Amino acid sequence: MRLTKEQLAFMDTFGYLGFPGLLKDRIDEIVEAFEAVWTERGGGHDGKPHDGTARSCIVPFIDQHTVLSSLIDDPRVNGIFGSLLGDDFVYLGSDGNFYVSDTNWHSDTDWSGKKRGAPPRIYYKMAIYLDPLTRETGALRVIPGSHRWGDAYADSLESQIRKSGENWGIEGWEVPAVALETQPGDIVVFNQNTKHSAWGGSDRRRMFTINCTARFADKDIPLLKNEIAAAARFWLDSVYGDAMLETAGPARMKHLEQPLTHQDHLVEEVRKARLRMEEPSRG
């Protein structure tokens, strides 16, 4: 699978793409694997049961199960990231979640330009939702065009959106946006710069992500090391889980080799994170 020039233009202009039913043929095994990972890890955050009061998160997530790890090899998933980032793209992280209540407006990037460069290095997030979601029940909402770092509109959103009531007289859920309502088997891909949120929904909304970027040039290896260091808040032993590595053939390893080569500092970063944190990060 390759994205069309129109899809690439849409992503460049608006910062997101939807793919209804793309993984419908695999959704049963995906859901089974998702639940198996949580069961094996105690049912919720940090090995404890999920009690519905706060988000539970596992990082890295797809790496915990062979079925989920194989999504990197799936021609549809691989083709989307290859079209956006080049066929030697880098897979750099996955989180599995039970979401609770609202998620306020934010980007998944460092808008300051300090950690990912200026403009921030482009990362794409593939979001896979395992429950039917509508605008009112926790579907992802995005603000088209909000990914364009340095643009007056996008920069204005960045500076004001977290205080929408104070700045615009509206609640977060009232901010004009596109709600990407989904059924199991649908996927959504967006530029991590894109402002996104979710409102309403249950206290056990199941979803996971796959995050990728282009291969790093030698001069950009410090940015890769920044990204790996930032993951220390999840108390990782390695950037990748055992299932991901043990089942990786040469084609998959192409997407893993750079982070594996440059993760030597992770152990020390995790040691420091454990000293200042009571539990691994929830996101």
| DSSP letter string, 135-164 | TTBT-EEE-TTTT-TTSHHHHHHHHHGGGH
The Cα-based distances of 244 to 137, 161, 186, 248, 256 in angstroms read 32, 37, 23, 6, 9
What pLDDT score was predicted for residue 271?
Answer: 96
What pLDDT score was predicted for residue 161?
Answer: 97
What pLDDT score was predicted for residue 201?
Answer: 83
Q: How far apart are CA 160 and CA 196, in angstroms?
A: 14
Q: Which amino acid is at 250?
A: P
Q: How far apart are CA 220 and CA 212, in angstroms?
A: 15
Q: How far apart are CA 197 and CA 181, in angstroms?
A: 13
What pLDDT score was predicted for residue 283?
Answer: 87
Q: Which residues pair with 213 in a beta bridge?
A: 90, 123
pTM value is 0.95
The answer to whether 3 and 83 have CB atoms below 8 angstroms apart is yes
Q: Which residues contact 272 (CB under 8 A, 6 or more apart)?
A: 232
Note the CATH number of domain 5-216: 2.60.120.620
- Angle (CA) 116-118-119 rounded to 5° is 95
What pLDDT score was predicted for residue 128?
Answer: 98
What pLDDT score was predicted for residue 92?
Answer: 96
Q: How far apart are CA 248 and CA 137, in angstroms?
A: 37
The Cα-based distances of 3 to 77, 81, 82 in angstroms read 11, 9, 9
Q: Which residues contact 257 (CB under 8 A, 6 or more apart)?
A: none
Closest CA relative to residue 267, chosen from 241, 240, 229: 229
Q: What is the pLDDT of residues 19-73, one digit of tens each?
A: 999 999 999 999 999 999 999 999 999 889 999 898 999 999 999 999 999 999 9
Q: Which residues pair with 19 in a beta bridge?
A: 187
Q: Which residues of the chain have pLDDT under 50?
A: none
What pLDDT score was predicted for residue 202?
Answer: 87
- What are the tokens at 265? 């500092």
The answer to whether 184 and 130 have CB atoms below 8 angstroms apart is yes
Q: Which amino acid is at 238?
A: S
Closest CA relative to residue 101, chosen from 154, 40, 51: 51
